[in-house]
Amino acid sequence: MLYSILIYAAEAELDQLDQKAEEAILARHGVLQSHMRASGGLGPFARLMSTSAAVTIKPGEGKPLVIDGPFAETKEQLLGLYLIECDNLDEAVAAASLLPTDIGSIEIRPIRYFGTGDLAGAKAAEQSG
């Protein structure tokens, strides 16, 4: 089964973390990545830009409205995601638990349909981190 791991935390709080704490978080991501690589279950993953960089399209009168910012004003924001393949939910939970769990919430949402896509720009984005 394919699962997505959706990572939420408060941007304003992450903004306050010092380099050491940031490195600690990255290290945990490294652990998840190598764990999933070992089982051949690591799919694409992404870190999202800040919600200030986002726009949201909402229904408007006549034509849709493009609004600045994220979909909803929430305490925690969607910051990044993984796609992983696991045999069952227990494994997916165990994998996601390798990430830092004390700075926000991690949602595991099974994938209903997955298209592999054909991203020319993905390699470039991978370089820039």
Partner 1 sequence: MTGRLCREDRFAAVLGSARPRVVGALTRYFRDLDRAEDAFQTASLRALGSWPERGLPDDPVAWLILAGRNAGIDAIRRNRRTVPLDTDQISDGLDSEEAALERIELDDYRDDILRLLFICCHPAIPQSDQMALALKVVAGLSVREIARAFLVTRKAMEQRITRAKRKVADAGIPFATPSLAERAERLGTVSGHLYLMFNEGYASAGEGAHIRAPLCEEAIRLIRLLLRLFPAQSEIMGLLALCLFQHSRARARLDPDGNIILLDEQDRGLWNRTLIDEGRVLLEKALRKHRPGPYQVQAAIAAVHCAAPCAADTDWAEIDRLYGALESLQPSPVVTLNRAVARAKVAGPEAALALVDGLGDALQGYLYYHGVRGALLAEIGDLKAAREAITCALGLAATAAERQHLEARLAAL
Question: What is the binding site for partner 1 (CB under 8 A)?
Answer: 10-17, 20-21, 23-28, 30-31, 49-53, 55, 66-69, 73, 100, 102-103, 127-129
Q: Among residues 12 and 38, whose Cβ is nearest to partner 1? A: 12
**2 or 35, CB closer to partner 1?**
35
Sign of CA dihedral 72, 78, 82, 87: negative
- Determine contact, residues 3/109, Cβ cutoff 8 Å: yes
Contact 8, 79 (CB under 8 A): yes
CB of 38 to partner 1, least distance (A): 17
Distance in Å, CB of 102 to partner 1, minimum: 6
